[in-house]
Amino acid sequence: MFQWSKAEATVLPIALLITLVLALAVTFLTRKKSETVKKIPLMIIITAMIGMEIAKQIYYVKAGYDTWAIPLHFCSLFMYVYFGCAFFKGKVGNFFKCLSLCMSLLFIVIFYCYPSSVIGESTSNIFKDFLSAHTFIYHHLIFLFFFILLFSNIYKKSKFDYLYACIAIIVYAAVAVPVAHTLNTNFCFILYNEIPILESIRQTCGQVFYTIILMLLGIIGLELAILVLHLCFYRRKKKTDMDIIMSAIKS
């Protein structure tokens, strides 16, 4: 945890600053627009992410396909969730907005605690090969999407948000667990875990009990992320977060 290489300590803060500036610029330009207009940048980002994923799949097909490339990893899920957030409306849209925010917040915490566990050594050779460039850019598009969604204030918190997190984990498990076992591919640590205490639980208590614990940890993580979002960003107030930022800039 908090093990940053020299390249990460140099590149990641700059990348984060650029991402924040872009997000603030976009939300400033769309601050008086309708929700449909505010979602256009989100649509562009998710379209770019899907395009990058298609390019990656083509790359793996040509190089000799590995089941590890199947988009069922945690970071791959943002494509599906962000698509729902950007293109759906009403209750379905709000469901995906909630998931987009809480999953992104959880991801950011994991990412900045231990970057190399997420993007490997891509900060050291961003443009030296396709996979490094893809990894670095794709994950920073997640940040950009999150900040624009957060600052745009188009998500409305709901009493059902905590239920949404449970549904999301159950649906993912229903798909990923059988696929992981069938293809013998360790999506989201379903088959085994690199964290010693969790791997010890798997070996001691069995795969079924371990899978249940893994699901519960996922639910708890998302629930905590939702709680933080509700407490820190979505309290009932007269001014939106973007209004406060703009007032501070003008003063």
Q: What is the pLDDT along the chain (251 residues), one digit of tens a residue?
A: 567 888 889 999 999 999 999 999 999 999 999 999 999 999 999 999 999 999 999 999 999 999 999 999 999 999 999 999 999 999 899 999 999 999 999 999 989 988 888 888 888 888 888 999 999 999 999 999 999 999 998 998 888 899 988 999 999 999 999 999 999 999 999 999 988 999 999 999 999 999 999 999 999 999 999 999 888 876 644 455 555 555 555 55
Reduce the DSSP state of residue 64 to 3 states and report it. coil
Unique residue bearing structure tokens 């498990």: 173
Separation CA 131–CA 139 (nearest Å): 12
**Res 127: pLDDT:** 83
What is the secondary structure of 71-87 as a DSSP string? S-STTTHHHHHHHHHHH
Question: Which pTM was predicted?
Answer: 0.88
**Res 70: pLDDT:** 95
**Res 238: pLDDT:** 45
**Res 180: pLDDT:** 97
**Res 232: pLDDT:** 82
Separation CA 151–CA 238 (nearest Å): 15
Separation CA 79–CA 134 (nearest Å): 14
Tokens of 155: 């998500």
**Res 77: pLDDT:** 96
Unique residue bearing structure tokens 């803060």: 13
